[in-house]
Amino acid sequence: MRSTTELIEAFVNYRRWAVVGVSHNPSKFGHIILNDLRRAGYDVQAVGRSGGMLDGAPIYPSLAALPERPEVVDVVVPPAQAELIVRQCAELGLQRVWLQPGAESPAVVAFCRANGIEVIAGGPCAMVHKRRWSSLG
């Protein structure tokens, strides 16, 4: 099993992401992370209950509805919802999940590890690594 530092280094090098927990509220972290990744040149798809369009791109209702499979799934929802999301990841064969602070729980992390999903959890927020994203563009 790779260390969190090694996982972060690997994850930021993947260019196709999905952010789960996106809303139309620009002050919410899902919205902020989505926009920051896009500005850094990542191909990012939004997943959220609100649906509709955001900055000219669709917000999909689920990971299964995405037209392209993401290489990394960034999860910005409460733990109860995160459990459903990581189950979807396993069903879809998605192998990398970054649980933002507040999304993780021992059950979610254990499920990921038991199902061969690489998981970042326990505090490292994707926002901390914005400079790293930009340097990869």
**pLDDT, tens digit, 9 for 90 and up, residues 2-33:** 898 899 989 999 999 999 999 999 999 999 99
How is residue 19 annotated by DSSP? Answer: E
Report whether 76 contacts 21 (CB < 8 A).
yes
Domains of the chain in start order, with CATH, are 4-136 (3.40.50.720)
* Coil/strand/helix, residue 50: coil
Kindly report the pTM of this predicted structure. 0.92
Cβ-based neighbours of 5, under 8 Å, separated by 6 or more: none
- Give CA–CA dist 137/135, Å, rounded: 6
Alpha helices in 1-137 (DSSP H): 4-11, 29-39, 79-92, 106-114, 130-136
The structure tokens listed for 70 are 């993401």
**pLDDT, tens digit, 9 for 90 and up, residues 26-83:** 999 999 999 999 988 999 999 999 889 999 999 999 999 999 999 999 999 999 999 9
Residue 118, pLDDT above cutoff 90:
yes
At which residue do the structure tokens 């507040």 appear? Answer: 102
